[in-house]
Chain A
Amino acid sequence: MKNVALISLSCLLLSSCSGVQSVLDTAGKDASVLAHLFWVLLVGAIVLWLLMNGLFFYVTRIEPRELSRRAAEALVIGGGIVFPFILLAGLIAYALSIMPDQRAAGDGVVVRVTGEQWWWRVEYDLGDGSAPIVSANEIRLPVDHRTEIKLGANKVIHSFWVPALAGKMDMFPGRETRMAVEPEKTGIFRGQCAEFCGESHALMAFQTVVLEQDEFEQWLERERQDAVQPTEAVPRQGEQLFVSEGCGACHTIRGTEAQGNLGPDLTHVGSRKSLGAGILPPTAEAFSNWTRHTGAIKPGVKMPSFAHLSDRQIEALGQYLEALK
Protein backbone atom coordinates (compact mmCIF):
# COMPACT_ATOMS: atom_id res chain seq x y z
CA MET A 1 0.00 0.00 0.00
CA LYS A 2 2.62 2.39 1.24
CA ASN A 3 5.07 1.59 -1.56
CA VAL A 4 2.54 2.32 -4.24
CA ALA A 5 1.71 5.54 -2.49
CA LEU A 6 5.35 6.56 -2.35
CA ILE A 7 5.90 5.86 -6.01
CA SER A 8 2.80 7.77 -6.99
CA LEU A 9 3.93 10.57 -4.71
CA SER A 10 7.15 11.00 -6.64
CA CYS A 11 5.21 11.03 -9.91
CA LEU A 12 2.96 13.70 -8.50
CA LEU A 13 5.96 15.66 -7.37
CA LEU A 14 7.27 15.77 -10.89
CA SER A 15 4.00 16.83 -12.43
CA SER A 16 2.71 19.29 -9.90
CA CYS A 17 5.60 21.44 -8.87
CA SER A 18 4.47 24.39 -10.88
CA GLY A 19 3.00 26.39 -7.99
CA VAL A 20 4.36 29.87 -7.48
CA GLN A 21 5.17 29.11 -3.83
CA SER A 22 6.88 25.78 -4.21
CA VAL A 23 10.14 24.56 -2.71
CA LEU A 24 10.67 22.36 -5.76
CA ASP A 25 9.99 24.88 -8.52
CA THR A 26 12.97 27.06 -7.83
CA ALA A 27 14.05 30.42 -9.18
CA GLY A 28 16.94 31.20 -6.87
CA LYS A 29 20.39 29.77 -6.31
CA ASP A 30 19.91 28.93 -2.64
CA ALA A 31 16.57 27.28 -3.23
CA SER A 32 17.87 25.16 -6.08
CA VAL A 33 20.75 23.87 -3.94
CA LEU A 34 18.20 22.90 -1.30
CA ALA A 35 15.86 21.33 -3.84
CA HIS A 36 18.77 19.22 -5.03
CA LEU A 37 19.48 18.24 -1.44
CA PHE A 38 15.85 17.24 -1.10
CA TRP A 39 15.86 14.94 -4.11
CA VAL A 40 18.99 13.19 -2.86
CA LEU A 41 17.41 12.75 0.56
CA LEU A 42 14.12 11.56 -0.89
CA VAL A 43 15.72 8.82 -2.98
CA GLY A 44 17.81 7.71 -0.01
CA ALA A 45 14.80 7.70 2.29
CA ILE A 46 12.69 5.63 -0.08
CA VAL A 47 15.46 3.06 -0.53
CA LEU A 48 16.03 2.78 3.22
CA TRP A 49 12.32 2.59 3.95
CA LEU A 50 11.90 -0.25 1.48
CA LEU A 51 14.92 -2.11 2.89
CA MET A 52 13.82 -1.82 6.51
CA ASN A 53 10.19 -2.70 5.92
CA GLY A 54 11.04 -5.35 3.38
CA LEU A 55 13.23 -6.99 5.99
CA PHE A 56 10.45 -6.80 8.53
CA PHE A 57 7.92 -8.22 6.10
CA TYR A 58 10.33 -10.99 5.26
CA VAL A 59 10.82 -12.03 8.89
CA THR A 60 7.18 -11.86 9.88
CA ARG A 61 5.49 -13.21 6.76
CA ILE A 62 7.87 -15.28 4.71
CA GLU A 63 9.20 -16.97 7.87
CA PRO A 64 12.79 -17.64 6.98
CA ARG A 65 14.73 -20.34 8.72
CA GLU A 66 15.67 -19.43 12.23
CA LEU A 67 18.75 -17.30 12.51
CA SER A 68 21.46 -18.04 15.03
CA ARG A 69 21.69 -15.54 17.84
CA ARG A 70 25.22 -14.70 16.78
CA ALA A 71 24.12 -13.82 13.26
CA ALA A 72 21.29 -11.78 14.74
CA GLU A 73 23.76 -9.85 16.85
CA ALA A 74 25.80 -9.20 13.71
CA LEU A 75 22.67 -7.83 12.05
CA VAL A 76 22.18 -5.39 14.91
CA ILE A 77 25.80 -4.23 14.76
CA GLY A 78 25.85 -3.89 11.00
CA GLY A 79 22.42 -2.42 10.48
CA GLY A 80 22.19 -0.51 13.72
CA ILE A 81 25.67 0.99 14.08
CA VAL A 82 28.16 0.60 11.24
CA PHE A 83 25.92 1.40 8.30
CA PRO A 84 24.09 4.40 9.84
CA PHE A 85 27.35 5.78 11.24
CA ILE A 86 28.91 6.04 7.80
CA LEU A 87 25.76 7.19 6.06
CA LEU A 88 24.91 9.86 8.59
CA ALA A 89 28.47 11.16 8.76
CA GLY A 90 28.29 11.67 5.00
CA LEU A 91 24.95 13.43 5.29
CA ILE A 92 26.14 15.76 8.02
CA ALA A 93 29.21 16.65 5.97
CA TYR A 94 27.05 17.28 2.91
CA ALA A 95 24.67 19.54 4.82
CA LEU A 96 27.40 21.45 6.63
CA SER A 97 29.29 22.03 3.42
CA ILE A 98 26.38 23.85 1.80
CA MET A 99 25.69 26.07 4.78
CA PRO A 100 28.36 28.77 4.27
CA ASP A 101 27.12 29.55 0.74
CA GLN A 102 23.54 29.71 1.92
CA ARG A 103 24.52 32.25 4.52
CA ALA A 104 26.83 34.30 2.26
CA ALA A 105 26.26 38.04 2.30
CA GLY A 106 24.79 40.03 -0.57
CA ASP A 107 25.83 43.41 -1.90
CA GLY A 108 24.26 46.45 -3.54
CA VAL A 109 20.86 47.58 -2.37
CA VAL A 110 19.92 46.29 1.08
CA VAL A 111 16.26 45.40 1.50
CA ARG A 112 15.01 45.87 5.01
CA VAL A 113 11.78 44.01 5.77
CA THR A 114 9.85 44.46 8.99
CA GLY A 115 7.04 42.10 9.94
CA GLU A 116 3.87 43.80 11.15
CA GLN A 117 0.54 42.29 12.13
CA TRP A 118 -0.25 41.31 9.32
CA TRP A 119 1.72 43.01 6.58
CA TRP A 120 5.28 43.73 5.54
CA ARG A 121 7.09 47.04 5.81
CA VAL A 122 9.76 47.19 3.11
CA GLU A 123 12.63 49.64 2.83
CA TYR A 124 15.30 49.78 0.15
CA ASP A 125 18.58 51.11 1.46
CA LEU A 126 20.75 52.22 -1.45
CA GLY A 127 23.80 52.49 0.75
CA ASP A 128 24.65 55.97 -0.55
CA GLY A 129 23.53 57.79 2.56
CA SER A 130 20.18 58.77 1.07
CA ALA A 131 16.99 58.08 2.99
CA PRO A 132 15.67 54.57 2.35
CA ILE A 133 12.87 54.14 -0.15
CA VAL A 134 9.80 52.96 1.72
CA SER A 135 7.30 50.52 0.30
CA ALA A 136 5.16 47.68 1.59
CA ASN A 137 3.88 44.18 0.92
CA GLU A 138 5.98 43.62 -2.16
CA ILE A 139 9.65 43.11 -2.77
CA ARG A 140 11.43 43.79 -6.01
CA LEU A 141 14.83 42.31 -6.67
CA PRO A 142 17.34 42.33 -9.51
CA VAL A 143 17.99 39.01 -11.20
CA ASP A 144 21.42 37.29 -11.01
CA HIS A 145 22.50 39.44 -8.14
CA ARG A 146 22.86 38.52 -4.49
CA THR A 147 20.79 40.94 -2.46
CA GLU A 148 21.11 41.27 1.26
CA ILE A 149 17.86 41.24 3.22
CA LYS A 150 17.74 42.52 6.78
CA LEU A 151 14.82 41.36 8.84
CA GLY A 152 13.05 42.68 11.89
CA ALA A 153 9.59 42.75 13.41
CA ASN A 154 7.39 45.12 15.30
CA LYS A 155 5.46 43.46 18.25
CA VAL A 156 5.56 39.70 17.47
CA ILE A 157 7.71 37.12 15.71
CA HIS A 158 7.18 36.50 12.00
CA SER A 159 9.13 34.54 9.43
CA PHE A 160 10.20 35.67 5.99
CA TRP A 161 9.89 33.00 3.34
CA VAL A 162 9.94 32.97 -0.45
CA PRO A 163 10.22 29.24 -1.16
CA ALA A 164 11.21 29.66 -4.78
CA LEU A 165 14.20 31.78 -3.84
CA ALA A 166 15.60 30.57 -0.52
CA GLY A 167 14.91 29.10 2.89
CA LYS A 168 13.12 31.07 5.55
CA MET A 169 14.40 33.31 8.31
CA ASP A 170 12.51 34.40 11.41
CA MET A 171 11.90 38.07 12.17
CA PHE A 172 12.13 39.19 15.77
CA PRO A 173 11.14 42.32 17.59
CA GLY A 174 14.27 43.87 19.06
CA ARG A 175 16.73 41.70 17.15
CA GLU A 176 17.95 41.92 13.58
CA THR A 177 18.30 38.77 11.51
CA ARG A 178 19.56 38.58 7.97
CA MET A 179 19.62 36.51 4.84
CA ALA A 180 20.45 36.96 1.17
CA VAL A 181 18.73 35.84 -1.98
CA GLU A 182 20.07 35.34 -5.45
CA PRO A 183 17.25 35.03 -8.02
CA GLU A 184 18.17 33.28 -11.25
CA LYS A 185 14.93 33.91 -13.12
CA THR A 186 12.72 36.92 -13.58
CA GLY A 187 9.10 36.56 -12.62
CA ILE A 188 6.74 36.85 -9.70
CA PHE A 189 7.19 34.53 -6.74
CA ARG A 190 4.89 34.37 -3.77
CA GLY A 191 6.13 34.54 -0.22
CA GLN A 192 4.28 34.05 3.03
CA CYS A 193 4.77 34.46 6.76
CA ALA A 194 5.82 31.09 8.15
CA GLU A 195 5.81 31.74 11.89
CA PHE A 196 2.45 31.86 13.60
CA CYS A 197 1.85 35.54 14.33
CA GLY A 198 -1.72 35.84 15.51
CA GLU A 199 -5.25 35.83 14.25
CA SER A 200 -4.64 36.54 10.57
CA HIS A 201 -1.32 34.75 10.24
CA ALA A 202 -2.81 32.92 7.24
CA LEU A 203 -3.35 36.23 5.44
CA MET A 204 0.16 37.61 5.54
CA ALA A 205 1.71 37.07 2.15
CA PHE A 206 3.55 39.14 -0.42
CA GLN A 207 4.80 38.99 -3.99
CA THR A 208 8.44 39.02 -4.91
CA VAL A 209 9.02 40.55 -8.32
CA VAL A 210 12.35 39.68 -9.88
CA LEU A 211 13.38 42.11 -12.62
CA GLU A 212 16.29 42.52 -14.99
CA GLN A 213 19.00 44.69 -13.45
CA ASP A 214 18.20 47.82 -15.54
CA GLU A 215 14.44 47.42 -15.08
CA PHE A 216 15.04 47.13 -11.36
CA GLU A 217 17.01 50.35 -11.31
CA GLN A 218 14.32 52.15 -13.29
CA TRP A 219 11.66 50.85 -10.98
CA LEU A 220 13.66 51.93 -7.95
CA GLU A 221 13.94 55.40 -9.39
CA ARG A 222 10.16 55.57 -9.92
CA GLU A 223 9.52 54.21 -6.45
CA ARG A 224 11.66 56.98 -5.00
CA GLN A 225 9.39 59.65 -6.52
CA ASP A 226 6.46 61.19 -4.72
CA ALA A 227 2.95 60.03 -5.53
CA VAL A 228 1.36 61.14 -8.79
CA GLN A 229 -1.46 63.66 -8.47
CA PRO A 230 -4.70 62.29 -9.88
CA THR A 231 -6.05 64.31 -12.79
CA GLU A 232 -9.52 62.91 -13.28
CA ALA A 233 -12.46 64.00 -11.18
CA VAL A 234 -13.40 60.76 -9.49
CA PRO A 235 -9.91 59.91 -8.22
CA ARG A 236 -9.53 63.49 -7.08
CA GLN A 237 -12.66 63.09 -5.01
CA GLY A 238 -11.05 59.95 -3.64
CA GLU A 239 -7.97 61.92 -2.67
CA GLN A 240 -10.08 64.41 -0.75
CA LEU A 241 -11.87 61.57 1.02
CA PHE A 242 -8.51 60.05 1.92
CA VAL A 243 -7.67 63.29 3.69
CA SER A 244 -11.07 63.95 5.23
CA GLU A 245 -11.51 60.40 6.56
CA GLY A 246 -8.19 60.69 8.34
CA CYS A 247 -6.45 57.87 6.47
CA GLY A 248 -3.25 59.87 6.71
CA ALA A 249 -3.08 59.21 10.41
CA CYS A 250 -1.90 55.70 9.63
CA HIS A 251 -0.76 55.74 6.01
CA THR A 252 1.85 57.70 4.18
CA ILE A 253 1.42 58.91 0.63
CA ARG A 254 4.54 60.85 -0.12
CA GLY A 255 3.89 64.21 -1.67
CA THR A 256 0.60 64.63 0.23
CA GLU A 257 -0.32 65.48 3.81
CA ALA A 258 -0.68 61.79 4.64
CA GLN A 259 2.37 60.96 6.74
CA GLY A 260 1.13 58.23 9.11
CA ASN A 261 3.40 55.38 9.94
CA LEU A 262 1.16 52.72 11.49
CA GLY A 263 -0.03 51.13 8.28
CA PRO A 264 1.59 50.36 4.93
CA ASP A 265 3.04 53.13 2.81
CA LEU A 266 0.65 53.74 -0.10
CA THR A 267 2.70 56.09 -2.26
CA HIS A 268 2.79 53.69 -5.20
CA VAL A 269 0.24 51.18 -4.01
CA GLY A 270 -1.48 51.07 -7.40
CA SER A 271 1.62 49.69 -9.04
CA ARG A 272 1.82 46.66 -6.75
CA LYS A 273 0.87 43.18 -7.85
CA SER A 274 -1.45 42.52 -4.92
CA LEU A 275 -3.32 44.21 -2.13
CA GLY A 276 -3.76 43.62 1.59
CA ALA A 277 -0.47 41.71 1.98
CA GLY A 278 -0.82 39.35 -0.92
CA ILE A 279 -4.47 38.45 -0.51
CA LEU A 280 -6.39 40.58 -3.02
CA PRO A 281 -5.86 41.51 -6.65
CA PRO A 282 -4.67 45.09 -7.34
CA THR A 283 -7.93 46.35 -8.80
CA ALA A 284 -10.04 49.36 -7.92
CA GLU A 285 -12.89 47.03 -6.91
CA ALA A 286 -10.61 45.18 -4.56
CA PHE A 287 -9.50 48.47 -3.01
CA SER A 288 -13.11 49.42 -2.44
CA ASN A 289 -14.01 46.01 -1.10
CA TRP A 290 -11.10 46.07 1.30
CA THR A 291 -11.85 49.56 2.61
CA ARG A 292 -15.40 48.57 3.35
CA HIS A 293 -14.83 45.11 4.88
CA THR A 294 -11.39 45.17 6.46
CA GLY A 295 -12.26 43.06 9.52
CA ALA A 296 -14.21 40.51 7.51
CA ILE A 297 -11.45 40.07 4.97
CA LYS A 298 -8.63 40.05 7.50
CA PRO A 299 -9.86 39.15 11.01
CA GLY A 300 -8.28 41.16 13.79
CA VAL A 301 -6.80 43.79 11.49
CA LYS A 302 -6.29 47.19 13.09
CA MET A 303 -7.65 49.22 10.17
CA PRO A 304 -11.32 50.03 10.80
CA SER A 305 -13.80 49.34 8.04
CA PHE A 306 -15.21 52.39 6.29
CA ALA A 307 -18.64 50.92 5.78
CA HIS A 308 -20.30 54.25 6.47
CA LEU A 309 -19.08 55.65 3.17
CA SER A 310 -21.48 55.61 0.25
CA ASP A 311 -20.93 53.36 -2.74
CA ARG A 312 -19.86 56.36 -4.76
CA GLN A 313 -17.36 57.49 -2.14
CA ILE A 314 -15.89 54.03 -1.76
CA GLU A 315 -15.53 53.75 -5.48
CA ALA A 316 -13.77 57.11 -5.66
CA LEU A 317 -11.38 56.07 -2.94
CA GLY A 318 -10.68 52.83 -4.74
CA GLN A 319 -9.99 54.60 -7.99
CA TYR A 320 -7.67 57.05 -6.29
CA LEU A 321 -5.61 54.33 -4.70
CA GLU A 322 -5.57 52.23 -7.82
CA ALA A 323 -4.22 55.23 -9.69
CA LEU A 324 -1.24 55.62 -7.36
CA LYS A 325 1.08 53.97 -9.84
Chain B
Amino acid sequence: MAKNRENEEVRTFAEEADSLWLITFACSIWAIHFVVCYGAAAFVCAKWSSNPAVITNMRVGLGIISVLALCAVSYIGWRSWVQWDFLDDYDYEHDLAKEEHRHEFLGHASFLLSVISFIGVIYVSLPILFLETCQ
Protein backbone atom coordinates (compact mmCIF):
# COMPACT_ATOMS: atom_id res chain seq x y z
CA MET B 1 0.00 0.00 0.00
CA ALA B 2 2.67 2.42 1.08
CA LYS B 3 4.73 1.36 -1.89
CA ASN B 4 1.84 2.10 -4.20
CA ARG B 5 1.41 5.54 -2.79
CA GLU B 6 5.05 6.25 -3.17
CA ASN B 7 4.98 5.24 -6.82
CA GLU B 8 2.08 7.50 -7.46
CA GLU B 9 3.97 10.32 -5.86
CA VAL B 10 6.94 9.60 -8.05
CA ARG B 11 4.73 9.78 -11.09
CA THR B 12 3.08 13.10 -10.26
CA PHE B 13 6.44 14.47 -9.35
CA ALA B 14 7.92 13.40 -12.65
CA GLU B 15 5.14 15.21 -14.43
CA GLU B 16 5.84 18.30 -12.39
CA ALA B 17 9.52 18.23 -13.15
CA ASP B 18 8.53 18.44 -16.78
CA SER B 19 6.24 21.33 -16.13
CA LEU B 20 9.04 23.32 -14.50
CA TRP B 21 10.84 23.02 -17.79
CA LEU B 22 7.56 23.83 -19.55
CA ILE B 23 7.98 27.38 -18.25
CA THR B 24 11.06 27.80 -20.37
CA PHE B 25 9.80 26.11 -23.55
CA ALA B 26 7.90 28.97 -25.14
CA CYS B 27 10.71 31.43 -24.51
CA SER B 28 13.22 28.94 -25.82
CA ILE B 29 11.26 28.69 -29.05
CA TRP B 30 11.38 32.47 -29.30
CA ALA B 31 15.13 32.34 -28.67
CA ILE B 32 15.72 29.66 -31.29
CA HIS B 33 13.58 31.53 -33.81
CA PHE B 34 15.54 34.68 -33.07
CA VAL B 35 18.92 33.02 -33.44
CA VAL B 36 17.88 31.34 -36.69
CA CYS B 37 16.64 34.64 -38.14
CA TYR B 38 19.72 36.52 -37.05
CA GLY B 39 22.13 33.80 -38.11
CA ALA B 40 20.51 33.31 -41.51
CA ALA B 41 20.47 37.04 -42.24
CA ALA B 42 24.06 37.52 -41.09
CA PHE B 43 25.23 34.58 -43.15
CA VAL B 44 23.31 35.37 -46.32
CA CYS B 45 24.18 39.06 -46.17
CA ALA B 46 27.86 38.27 -45.64
CA LYS B 47 28.11 35.82 -48.49
CA TRP B 48 25.43 36.76 -51.06
CA SER B 49 24.47 40.35 -50.34
CA SER B 50 24.46 41.22 -54.03
CA ASN B 51 22.14 38.42 -55.05
CA PRO B 52 18.48 39.43 -54.57
CA ALA B 53 17.18 35.93 -55.37
CA VAL B 54 19.02 34.38 -52.46
CA ILE B 55 17.75 37.10 -50.15
CA THR B 56 14.18 36.56 -51.29
CA ASN B 57 14.54 32.83 -50.71
CA MET B 58 15.90 33.51 -47.28
CA ARG B 59 12.96 35.75 -46.47
CA VAL B 60 10.48 33.14 -47.63
CA GLY B 61 12.31 30.48 -45.62
CA LEU B 62 12.35 32.61 -42.50
CA GLY B 63 8.68 33.39 -43.01
CA ILE B 64 7.89 29.67 -42.99
CA ILE B 65 10.04 29.19 -39.91
CA SER B 66 8.22 32.03 -38.21
CA VAL B 67 4.86 30.40 -38.89
CA LEU B 68 6.18 27.11 -37.53
CA ALA B 69 7.51 28.88 -34.46
CA LEU B 70 4.13 30.51 -33.89
CA CYS B 71 2.44 27.11 -34.16
CA ALA B 72 4.88 25.62 -31.68
CA VAL B 73 4.37 28.47 -29.23
CA SER B 74 0.62 28.10 -29.61
CA TYR B 75 0.90 24.41 -28.85
CA ILE B 76 2.87 25.14 -25.69
CA GLY B 77 0.30 27.80 -24.84
CA TRP B 78 -2.54 25.35 -25.29
CA ARG B 79 -0.82 22.71 -23.16
CA SER B 80 -0.21 25.19 -20.39
CA TRP B 81 -3.76 26.47 -20.64
CA VAL B 82 -4.92 22.90 -20.06
CA GLN B 83 -2.57 22.60 -17.12
CA TRP B 84 -3.70 25.93 -15.73
CA ASP B 85 -7.27 24.63 -16.00
CA PHE B 86 -8.65 28.11 -15.47
CA LEU B 87 -12.21 27.30 -16.37
CA ASP B 88 -12.75 24.76 -13.59
CA ASP B 89 -12.30 27.16 -10.70
CA TYR B 90 -11.38 30.54 -12.24
CA ASP B 91 -8.32 30.60 -10.06
CA TYR B 92 -5.41 32.77 -11.01
CA GLU B 93 -3.82 33.31 -7.63
CA HIS B 94 -2.56 29.80 -6.86
CA ASP B 95 -1.54 30.86 -3.38
CA LEU B 96 -2.43 27.79 -1.38
CA ALA B 97 -0.11 25.07 -0.19
CA LYS B 98 -1.72 22.47 -2.40
CA GLU B 99 -0.33 20.26 -5.11
CA GLU B 100 -3.11 21.48 -7.36
CA HIS B 101 -2.14 25.07 -6.92
CA ARG B 102 1.49 24.41 -7.64
CA HIS B 103 0.44 22.48 -10.73
CA GLU B 104 -1.87 25.21 -11.98
CA PHE B 105 0.59 27.95 -11.13
CA LEU B 106 3.21 26.41 -13.37
CA GLY B 107 0.61 26.11 -16.09
CA HIS B 108 -0.47 29.70 -15.66
CA ALA B 109 3.07 31.13 -15.71
CA SER B 110 3.92 29.04 -18.72
CA PHE B 111 0.75 30.18 -20.49
CA LEU B 112 1.63 33.82 -19.92
CA LEU B 113 5.14 33.22 -21.19
CA SER B 114 3.64 31.67 -24.31
CA VAL B 115 1.72 34.89 -24.86
CA ILE B 116 4.88 36.95 -24.51
CA SER B 117 6.82 34.59 -26.76
CA PHE B 118 4.05 34.73 -29.34
CA ILE B 119 4.29 38.51 -29.40
CA GLY B 120 8.06 38.28 -29.51
CA VAL B 121 8.02 35.97 -32.53
CA ILE B 122 5.58 38.26 -34.34
CA TYR B 123 7.77 41.28 -33.68
CA VAL B 124 10.93 39.55 -34.79
CA SER B 125 9.20 38.47 -38.00
CA LEU B 126 8.32 42.05 -38.95
CA PRO B 127 11.74 42.89 -40.43
CA ILE B 128 11.40 39.94 -42.79
CA LEU B 129 8.25 41.58 -44.14
CA PHE B 130 9.55 45.12 -44.31
CA LEU B 131 13.17 44.88 -45.37
CA GLU B 132 13.97 43.52 -48.78
CA THR B 133 17.71 43.99 -49.04
CA CYS B 134 20.79 43.60 -46.95
CA GLN B 135 21.69 47.26 -47.19
Chains A and B belong together in one complex: yes
Residues of A within 8 A of B (CB): 69, 73, 81, 85, 88-89, 92-93, 96-97, 99-100, 103-105
Asked whether B72 is an interface residue with its Cβ less than 8 Å from the other chain, the reply is no
CA distance A105 to B135 in the complex (A): 9
Q: Is the CB of B92 within 8 A of A96?
A: no
CA distance A99 to B104 in the complex (A): 45
What residue in chain A is nearest B119 (Cβ atoms)?
A: A85
CA distance A12 to B123 in the complex (A): 35
Minimum distance in angstroms from A177 CB to a CB of chain B: 11
Q: Is the CB of A100 within 8 A of B126?
A: no
Residues of B within 8 A of A (CB): 92-93, 115, 119, 122-123, 126-127, 130-133, 135
Minimum distance in angstroms from A29 CB to a CB of chain B: 16
Which residues of chain B are near A97, meaning CB under 8 Å? 130
Which residues of chain A are near B133, meaning CB under 8 Å? 100
CA distance A103 to B93 in the complex (A): 50
CA distance A93 to B123 in the complex (A): 9
Which residues of chain B are near A88, meaning CB under 8 Å? 123
CA distance A73 to B86 in the complex (A): 14
Q: Is the CB of A73 within 8 A of B126?
A: no
Known: A85-B119, A89-B123. A99 touches B92 (CB 8 A): no
Pair count A-B, CB < 8 A:
27
- Which of A69, A89, A96, A104 has a CB less than 8 Å from the CB of B127? A96
CA distance A85 to B117 in the complex (A): 12
What residue in chain A is nearest B112 (Cβ atoms)?
A: A81
Q: Is the CB of A92 within 8 A of B126?
A: yes
CA distance A104 to B133 in the complex (A): 10
Q: Is the CB of B126 within 8 A of A81?
A: no
CA distance A99 to B93 in the complex (A): 44
What residue in chain B is nearest A105 (Cβ atoms)?
A: B135
Which of B92, B119, B126, B130: most chain A CB closer than 10 A?
B130
Q: Is the CB of B135 within 8 A of A100?
A: yes
What residue in chain B is nearest A85 (Cβ atoms)?
A: B119
Minimum distance in angstroms from A55 CB to a CB of chain B: 22
Which 6 A-B residue pairings sit nearest by Cβ, starting from the closest? A96-B130, A103-B135, A92-B126, A85-B119, A96-B127, A97-B130
Known: A89-B122, A89-B123. A81 touches B115 (CB 8 A): yes
Which residues of chain B are near A105, meaning CB under 8 Å? 135
Which residues of chain A are near B135, meaning CB under 8 Å? 100, 103-105
**19 interchain pairs, CB-CB under 8 A:** A69-B93, A73-B92, A81-B115, A81-B119, A85-B119, A89-B122, A89-B123, A89-B126, A92-B123, A92-B126, A93-B126, A93-B130, A96-B126, A96-B130, A99-B130, A100-B131, A100-B132, A100-B133, A103-B135
Which residues of chain A are near B126, meaning CB under 8 Å? 89, 92-93, 96
